[in-house]
Structure 1
């Protein structure tokens, strides 16, 4: 995250976030044509680097630097630009480099491709740097999550979308206390934050979306569910939270933490909360 304070998924931005007091880095990984595991969010280079090519179709050495002006994916209409960042600062890094530099920082990895080669390579890097206990991985895609767990069950795992739905059904029906859970992290969008961003794009929500947001606001952040998960040692994170009202709701819901594009603002909020 931290996309409002630096170029996303770059080493310099990760350093800045840690200096601001960030306790966990969140990043995305993909595989280049020549088999390197890189830290990058989109499938295409278009939004962040201005090149209409896919990461998987380019060798690592040929990847362009990020553009000086980058639209922020999670904040509609906002862009990050800072001409003091050098080309090296805007380089797309390897996951290996992130592990080498941030040896003691927990890292949350979103596996962006349903590719067993990528999963095995990430697993090998986690083992090489002996950071299974400091790493959380997974995907929205349930098949990817199943492969992650099969390849390396020692690494912390977040819920896929399918597993979240199953979790909610079990919670609503009262079966959850009797259901085994292999995942260690419940990471979902904060409905309030997503709804606010959606309303920045449309004047009025369609009826179907109103119902969907009502369901999310009712069940995804249901306090008895969150309490139950925490009692079972499962961490609860919400994304993407970028203002004090959203931080406050995360705190009120009992979240373990939240993912943000504005780590400085979050640190200020946390400091005020402990005064």
Structure 2
């Protein structure tokens, strides 16, 4: 999708709606996760945003990887931060899809990707970058790369941790950012007390689980998410069409993850999510062709 309507957004609540509507992927269900092959495939089938996690190697390279410890991805019990980029092992030939238990991906490409190479390969592709470590040097290097490749308006800071997000915003306040967990709770309180329309929001994107996938396609590590009551409560509290419509009218994105089955994509769009994240970009693209979504609402 073209990155139209995204430039010079600082100080504007129009944010990044135009380019991030409908879908975002890393393609880890159809190719080995976070490889250049996976990203290239996802873009080729129509992905509108790439979501990726970043870490720092021992020699200061910003690397795209879901995990810092390489045991799950490569079979080696080493951390990315303890190795030079050139010494990173290859991904396993077959990997289980994190958000789709019992399903595996394969591919020809098994190499780790430098964030800079992803920027070079996809200069106009919006990307959400999750800072996975509370690491000042990592944040500084990511910000420097975003500036170098002039991507401030099509890149999003992502982190659930308030302290990490505060550092990201301080390092580069011109990059749009998502709600942290703490700010998400505040958002809910404002919504249910009726104060949300009067409260300024600096965020550009709300990213949240689609609750119905928890303990079905995705088995969480967090013990509290294994509780059926908690999952039902999340469904009741967060999956509110009126909340998502309000945010969309203010120019914010609402992305629900990770929708790896058509019924989950349908459920996400039914509550007016502006986009969904999927490990299966081809499936998502085909779904959207069969079920085209309405145009975004007018922003006030």
- Matches of 1:57 and 1:26, distance apart in 2: 24
1:40-82: CA deviation from partner (whole Å, max 9, x where unpaired): 1112111111100011111111101111021221111222234
1:7-30: CA deviation from partner (whole Å, max 9, x where unpaired): 111111100001111111111100
Normalized against structure 1, the TM-score is what? Answer: 0.92
Q: Which residue of 2 aligns with 1:253?
A: 271
Return closer, same or farther for 1:256/1:208 CA change in 2, 3 Å cut-off: closer
Q: In the alignment, which of 81, 90, 99 is matched to residue 74 of structure 1?
A: 99
Q: In the alignment, which of 107, 113, 118 is matched to residue 98 of structure 1?
A: 118
Asked if the contact 1:158/1:185 (under 8 Å) is kept, the reply is yes
State how many pairs are aligned.
266
Q: Which residue of 2 aligns with 1:12?
A: 37
For residue 258 of structure 1, give the secondary structure of its aligned residue in structure 2: strand
Structure of greater relative contact order (alpha carbons < 8 Å, 6+ residues apart):
2
List structure 1 runs of 4+ shifted beyond 3 angstroms: 205-208
Confirm or deny that 1:194 pairs with 2:214. yes
Q: Which residue of 1 aligns with 2:28?
A: 3
| Structural RMSD (CA) | 1.9
- Matches of 1:32 and 1:71, distance apart in 2: 24
Stretch of structure 1 that moved more, 183-192 or 213-222: 213-222
For residue 55 of structure 2, give the secondary structure of its aligned residue in structure 1: strand
Structure 2 matches for 1:28-107, cutoff 5 A? 28-82=53-107, 85=108, 89-107=109-127
- Matches of 2:103 and 2:119, distance apart in 1: 30
Q: Which has the higher helix share?
A: 1
Asked if the contact 1:138/1:144 (under 8 Å) is kept, the reply is no
Return closer, same or farther for 1:32/1:208 CA change in 2, 3 Å cut-off: closer
Alpha-carbon deviation of 1:216? Answer: 0.8
Q: Which residue of 2 aligns with 1:161?
A: 181
